[in-house]
């Protein structure tokens, strides 16, 4: 039986937002709150436009969402430890080995490595949508380097500054504790030394977030040329010519570029011998390398089974109805029902590799069918959820647009869900794809305290 978790009607805002969108977006521009994307081989930096009408989640509804997210992330962390150690979930036939070892996110270099406190995903970005029936569905698990927490943080800070009355009612949970949660997470796994955030530099898509989170948490923002490994420990070069030990490194670069001596040898943004320091237990890496095997879209299908297998519990939150062409029956169903489904390439992210069967011409449909038959492991298919429309400001009036929610779950001494989140929406009235890289905008998420 599905658990129905509902949000407050938008008319239930405790204090109507009086913040001016143009003013806040101008401040965001002035403060450099941007994101960047690579398109056609070129880096383009652009604003991430803010909409002042918040998403509202009632207190009781958030408690149910929170419980379900904690359950899911705890199971995923158990899965990651198992996959890189005993592999019981494979031996017991719950997850086929094809979905582990063929995954682009599985890293054989991480076999047998045990992260500090056995935590793999310290910061998890879980994408949800709410159907028009009120039920919340998990769309994706992001366990590598999920981004986006900084945008609702600074947007609310600017709203608070420009329109103090907006939050005067006291019924909205203050979201400024994200930096405290993040610092507690880093401190819990720190192996001795300072906390640092590793950025590839200002041309990275999320550079604003890297610098902002470093400022809020008191962590040191570093680039690879400031770091070195000596005596199997990670060090930061100080301006005076000395060195400071790093005990926890919140890396914001992809696994394959972390250490050119372990992963991609051509990497110019990694740290040679970082993985040796990690293997020696002298530094925590946040998030742990190798997490990509758990947020593979093919593995997503098995997460409800993981929850039952590792925790002995029924899933509180539900996946979108999903089919694996890897299985013969599912393949036959997908081939016969393309027009009802959305097909996703398991190796893609950011809204790329998503195809709605109803949008394909007969020629493209036949081409896709042939590809699916040849490479069934490469895709999953999902029923199209008619998810909730939220009001946004457009041309001086309100219109309704599709929106999702990225919730942030932090795993330290305990697993905690941030009572906020990044709500992304599409400006295109016909689009279900809300990712910023696909032209989506964002709004704040208000969780009510009562």
Which whole-number Å values give the CA distances from 415 to 3, 70, 155, 217, in the listed order? Answer: 21, 6, 25, 18
Q: Tally Cβ neighbours within 10 Å of residue 40.
A: 5
Report the predicted TM-score, pTM, of the whole model to 2 decimal places: 0.92
Note the residue count of the chain.
Answer: 450
- The span from the CA of 386 to the CA of 154, in Å, is 30
Q: Which two tokens stand for residue 293?
A: 């095997």
CA 121 to chain centre: 11
What angle do helix axes 362-374 and 328-336 make, rounded to 10 degrees? 180
Per-residue model confidence (pLDDT) at position 45: 72
Q: Which pLDDT value is given to residue 11?
A: 40
Phi, psi of 95 (to 5 degrees): -120, 125
* Coil, helix or strand at residue 215: helix
Strand pairing report for 194-198 and 243-251: parallel
DSSP class per residue in 237-248: E-TTS-EEEEEE
Cα dist from 44 to 34, 37, 240, whole Å: 10, 5, 36
Q: How far apart are CA 309 and CA 254, in angstroms?
A: 29
pLDDT at 357: 83
Given the structure tokens 């020629």, which residue do they identify?
363
Summarize pLDDT for 100-111 with one digit per residue, the tens.
998 999 999 999
Q: Give the pLDDT score at 235.
A: 98
The radius of gyration of the chain's CA atoms, rounded to the nearest angstrom, is: 22
CB 138 within 8 Å of CB 72: yes
Beta bridge pairs of residue 355: 343
pLDDT, position 108: 97
Tell me the per-residue pLDDT of 258-312, one tens digit each, with 9 for 90 and over. Answer: 999 999 999 999 999 999 999 999 999 999 999 999 999 999 999 999 999 999 9
Can you give the pLDDT at residue 133? Answer: 85
- Low-confidence residues of the chain: pLDDT under 70: 1-19, 36-44, 349-352, 429-439
Structure-token match 């740290």, residue found: 271
pLDDT of res. 351: 59
């Amino acid at each position: 039986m599905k658990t129905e978790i509902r949000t407050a009607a938008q008319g239930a805002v405790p204090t109507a937002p009086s913040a001016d969108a143009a003013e806040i977006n101008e401040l965001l521009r002035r403060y450099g709150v941007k994101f960047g994307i690579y398109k056609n081989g070129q880096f383009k930096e652009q604003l991430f436009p803010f909409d002042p009408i918040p998403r509202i989640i009632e207190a009781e509804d958030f408690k149910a969402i929170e419980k379900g997210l904690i359950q899911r992330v705890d199971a995923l962390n158990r899965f990651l430890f198992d996959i890189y150690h005993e592999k019981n979930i494979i031996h017991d036939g719950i997850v086929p080995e094809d979905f582990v070892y063929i995954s682009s996110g599985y890293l054989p270099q991480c076999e047998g490595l045990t992260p500090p406190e056995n935590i793999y995903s310290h910061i998890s970005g879980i994408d949800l949508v709410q159907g028009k029936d009120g039920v919340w569905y998990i769309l994706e698990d992001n366990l590598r380097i999920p981004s986006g927490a900084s945008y609702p943080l600074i947007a609310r800070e600017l709203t608070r500054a420009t329109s103090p009355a907006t939050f005067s009612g006291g019924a909205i949970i203050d979201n400024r504790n994200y930096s405290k949660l993040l610092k507690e997470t880093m401190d819990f796994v720190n192996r001795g030394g300072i906390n640092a955030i590793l950025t590839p530099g200002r041309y990275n898509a999320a550079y604003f977030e890297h610098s902002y989170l470093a400022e809020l948490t008191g962590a040191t923002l570093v680039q690879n040329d400031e770091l070195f490994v000596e005596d199997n420990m990670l060090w930061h070069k100080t301006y005076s010519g000395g060195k400071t030990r790093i005990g926890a490194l919140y890396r914001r670069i992809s696994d394959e570029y972390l250490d050119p001596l372990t992963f991609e040898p051509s990497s110019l943004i990694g740290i040679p011998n970082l993985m040796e320091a990690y293997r020696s237990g002298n530094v925590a890496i946040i998030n742990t390398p190798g997490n990509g095997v758990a947020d593979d879209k093919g593995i997503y299908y098995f997460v409800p089974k993981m929850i039952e297998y590792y925790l002995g519990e029924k899933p509180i939150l539900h996946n979108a109805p999903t089919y694996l062409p890897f299985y013969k029956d599912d393949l036959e169903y997908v081939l016969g029902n393309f027009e009802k489904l959305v097909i996703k390439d398991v190796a893609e992210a950011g809204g790329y590799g998503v195809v709605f069967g109803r949008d394909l011409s007969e020629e493209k449909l036949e081409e896709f069918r042939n590809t699916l038959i040849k490479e069934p492991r490469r895709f999953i298919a999902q029923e199209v959820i008619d998810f909730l429309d939220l009001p946004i400001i457009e041309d001086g009036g309100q219109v309704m647009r599709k929106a999702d929610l990225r919730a942030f779950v932090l795993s330290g001494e305990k697993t905690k869900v941030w009572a906020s989140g990044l709500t992304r929406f599409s400006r295109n009235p016909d689009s279900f794809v809300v990712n910023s890289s696909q032209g989506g905008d964002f709004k704040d998420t208000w969780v009510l305290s009562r």
